[in-house]
Amino acid sequence: MVKNLFNSLVVGLGSIGNRHTKNLMSLGFKNISIFRTFKNKTKYPKINNIEIFSNFDKAINKKKYDLMILANPTSEHIKYAIKGAKKKINIYIEKPLSNTLKNTQILQRIEKKNKIKILIGCQLRYHAGLIYVKKVIEKKKLGKIYSVFCDVGEHLPLWHPKENFKKSYAAKKKLGGGVILTLIHEIDYLYWLFGKFKSVYAAGGSLTKLNINVEDTVLGNITTKENIPILLRMDYWRNPPSRQLNIVGEKGQLNWDYYSKKVTIIYNNGKKIVKKMPKNWNRNVMFIDIMRDFLSNIQKNKKVKIPLKDGIYTLKVALALKKSLTKSKKILI
């Protein structure tokens, strides 16, 4: 990778835009530009000759970019992605792809026509623990899968303590918020591990004292095409946070715990296997790995691991869960 010849445009400079900018710098990139509306007061990283734009059209027309990172509110992703795709820019889109399927097919057509690469930023697919879980499933070490419980919970007010959480995109319907879309990582990796889904049914809503106008608590029943029943629990309330996966199979069960950094397999015959990650492991490793891999895909013209079509599919599932929540009925995928 000839790093310094890559022109990069980061769209949005909240916490995730800030992270991506710093990561590009750590990977050796110098030609970085930023577009921000300045509604978010986050200070941008110090870097020599960095260009800051408050007008997107001016930013995108200033030079030819090789990479654009969309780290702006969910509801704005498709609009900016289409503009970038028309300019033949490779695009990294922070999850979720959008809060609506509108114009996603247009983006797909432009992607194909202009032969660019679009990656959806579901970096949990780059988590060493989940990569190990996928290998266990693919090698059928658990035998037939009987059931799955997937659990994620975080306390929204603690995400950015210096900011009013009620003004964040995660808490506002018009910006694409709500626990289903914001924590779509779980839907993505369940699809990655177990394949496509047949139906979903969800219960919950805005139930906690957070008092926001989007769902903060959801219990989702998902059935895969292979008839594996999955229970998905998501919320904005828990402190300390939780992110776990439990799989019950014919030969035993598997537990993955994000925060304890380990995978435990207990077989029916009593055999136990524990895979631990380094105690000093930092989540930013996933962001670095996914970006490094994407940049390699661009340079070598290889397929990306989390393509636009996957982002569209998981968005479709997330929107079905939201629909089920409001309609109180099963939704077929």
What SS3 string covers the chain?
A: CCHHHCCEEEECCCHHHHHHHHHHHHCCCCCEEEECCCCCCCCCCCCCCCEEECCHHHHHHHCCCCEEEECCCHHHHHHHHHHHHHCCCEEEEECCCCCCCCCHHHHHHHHHHHCCCEEEECHHHHCHHHHHHHHHHHCCCCCCEEEEEEEEECCHHHCCCCCCHHHCHHHCHHHCCCHHHHCCHHHHHHHHHHCCEEEEEEEEECCCCCCCCCCCEEEEEEEECCCCEEEEEEECCCCCCEEEEEEEECCEEEEEECCCCEEEEEECCCCEEEEECCCCCCCHHHHHHHHHHHHHHHHHCCCCCCEHHHHHHHHHHHHHHHHHHHHCCCEEC
CA distance 290 to 140: 27
pLDDT, position 30: 85
> Which of 96, 126, 99 has its CA nearest to residue 23?
126
pLDDT, position 46: 59
- Lowest model confidence (mean pLDDT) among 74-88, 145-159, 162-176, 268-282: 162-176
Percent of the chain with pLDDT over 90: 88
Give 175's pLDDT tier (boundaries 50, 70, 90). confident
pLDDT, position 37: 85
pLDDT reading at 209 higher than 80: yes
Average pLDDT over residues 86-104: 98
Give 5's pLDDT tier (boundaries 50, 70, 90). low
Is residue 217 within 8 Å of residue 207, measured between CB atoms? yes
Give 47's pLDDT tier (boundaries 50, 70, 90). low
Count of CB atoms situated within 10 Å of the CB of 72? 26
> Which of 201, 236, 238, 233 has its CA nearest to residue 218?
233
Average pLDDT over residues 38-52: 66
pLDDT, position 326: 96
Count of CB atoms situated within 10 Å of the CB of 238? 17
Average pLDDT over residues 95-101: 97
User: pLDDT tens digits, residue range 215-224?
Assistant: 999 999 999 9
pLDDT, position 167: 87
User: pLDDT tens digits, residue range 242-286?
Assistant: 999 999 999 999 999 999 999 999 999 999 999 999 989 999 999
The residue that leads in pLDDT, 3 or 251, is 251
